Amino acid sequence: MLDRRLFLISGTAALLAGCSSTQRTLAPTIPGDAAPKRISPEYVAMYGPLLDERFPVPAVKLTDIDPVYYRQLVDYSSPEPTGTIIVDTPNRFLYLTMEGGKAMRYGVGIGRAGFEWGGSARIAYKKEWPTWTPPAEMIARQPELEEFRNGMAPGIENPLGARALYIFEGGRDTLYRVHGTAETWSIGKAVSSGCVRLLNHDIIDLYNRVPNNTKIVVRQA
């Protein structure tokens, strides 16, 4: 049952959930020594160009991202069943629980202050290279989005990126999504209008691992 103190009601969600950042911030500085550190060949290969996609995905500029947010298998204890998506909002991680006390961990960008949401729901369905349609309320705030009132065609610049997972409470669309992004600088940040964003490489990986009706839990603390 969804925690209604955390999960915004549908009308408010329509106002907030555009899944698009509206203002670019400076790229984060990688903690540590001033001199750039050598990135493992494993990650270079993991985040290399994906040329077989419908819209080729360029390699990730890994120096834009704190290495803690690179995709990795980690030890993780949770009361949730294997195959559950858990979003750790404060720490900017998404976990996919696995057997043996393990999880696949991904770095994420999450909603700005005032756009946060949380609770327990399900992934009703998934889409490859989805169309993005900004809510009417978002267009009212940002008139430059009028041209996309009937939808923005899929592509590398589409705010939903290469894949989208659609979050429902029972039969109701919450209007929140787990989706991809080409804005590498946003990973680990609070930037989007309510949705959870992963690197395009990572959302493709997650998309391939989870079926429809996967449980998703979003934690605010």
Integer CA distances (angstroms), 58 to 92, 125, 126, 141, 155, in order: 23, 26, 22, 31, 12
201 is a catalytic site residue: no
Active-site pick, 15, 190, 195, 217: 195
Active-site pick, 126, 177, 179, 189: 179
Q: Which single residue is written with the structure tokens 């961990």?
A: 105
Q: How far apart are CA 66 and CA 58, in angstroms?
A: 19
Residue 216, class by beta-carbon neighbours within 10 Å (0-12 exposed, 13-18 middle, 19+ buried)?
buried
Interstrand relation of 163-169 and 102-107 (parallel, antiparallel or unpaired): unpaired
Q: Which amino acid is at 9?
A: I
Q: How far apart are CA 169 and CA 121, in angstroms?
A: 5
Active site positions, annotated: 179, 195
